[in-house]
Copies of this chain bind each other. A is one copy, B any other.
Amino acid sequence: MILTLDTNRECPGLVDKFELKLDQAARAAWLSYVGGRTQDEIASQLGVSRPGVQRLLALARQEGLVKVHIDHPLANCMVMSNAIVKHFALDFCDVVPAEPGATDSGSHYLAVAGAERLSRYLDRGEPLTLSLGTGRVVRATVEAMSRIDRPQHRFVSLVGNVARDGSSNRYDGVMVLADKTGGERFLLPAPVVAGTVEEKHALLGQRLFQAIAEVAKEAEAAFIGVGRIDRQATLFQDHFISEAELGELLEREAVGELLGWPLNQAGEVIDCSITRRVTSLPLEMFRDQSLVALAGGHDKGPAILAALRGGWLKGLVTDENAARYIVEHGIG
């Protein structure tokens, strides 16, 4: 004889017992979650002991009788945030809602969320070393920060603030942040990608460069952007890499970059001619730091996913669109 779950008149003994318990569980759940009674009240109302109510509530949750819905656009973000944190073993993942009338890449929400994370570090009284990457979002993030007096902190830029033409970027993120806090600033006197391998080694050999690298190594956290690898890539648009080199990267199936280091779909650093000219500190260095990526937009999805898969990141601040891509392609 097969046990069925519906109210079967033929074999009332077993089924009804469970059904009855479920009924009680539903009652208890209603009184608790909807009615807002305490477990003691429910116990006396249902005529069972308080631990009994406990068990009924546990049963109700376990059997999926209790459905909670958060009626707010952010609820969806939270679902994805949760999934991403769990799947990629992050410390945190902030997903901001897709801004209604925003452009592809520049979301103000993203900057605010990033600024909030940044503030969490800066608020502290003890001296702190923090490093910053480049990217529109990193820049917008530090700009979204409100002024706060923290002269004890130190800020290091992880990628050179020297453009291809040799000009220094006056408004590097580190500059803005140091201005807003009164902290110390350490700028890397180099381009992201050196012109030649020799140039790279010359740079790396400089005492100043090494001193700054030392400071960066002491940083507790790094806030960086995530770059795409395609014709819209910052690396290409800013002429750090040539069209031919872009082609090489695409051929090697690069989908994103972190501090100039190209990554494939699995998140592994691709060893190629460009890699040998990248002046940034090696990604391995950040394994025991909090590497936080700030990036959003559906188009950035593959790049962010690669960074996640590589296990480089400890934290992620992104938006609904990128999160959806990541969940669909990287988890679902």
Where the two chains meet, the residues of A that have a C-beta atom closer than 8 Å to any C-beta of B are 7, 22-23, 26-27, 29-31, 33-35, 45, 47, 60, 64-75, 78-79, 82, 92, 100, 116, 119-120
Contact = CB atoms under 8 A, between A and B. Distances in A.
Contact of A78 (B34, B60, B82): B34
Copies in the complex: 2
A33 B71 contact: no
A64 B69 CA distance: 10
B71 A34 contact: no
A56 to B, nearest CB: 12
B68 A70 contact: no
B33 A70 contact: yes
B70 A30 contact: yes
Contact of A71 (B64, B74, B100): B64
Contact of A35 (B23, B35, B45, B82): B82
Query: What 7 A-B pairs come out closest when comparing CB atoms?
Result: A26-B72, A30-B78, A26-B74, A67-B69, A33-B68, A30-B70, A29-B70
A20 to B, nearest CB: 9
A74 B29 CA distance: 10
B74 A27 contact: yes
B75 A30 contact: yes
Given A45-B92, A47-B116, A92-B45, A72 B22 contact: yes
Nearest to A92: B45
A214 B75 CA distance: 63
A71 to B, nearest CB: 5
A30 B82 CA distance: 10
Contacts of A7: 100
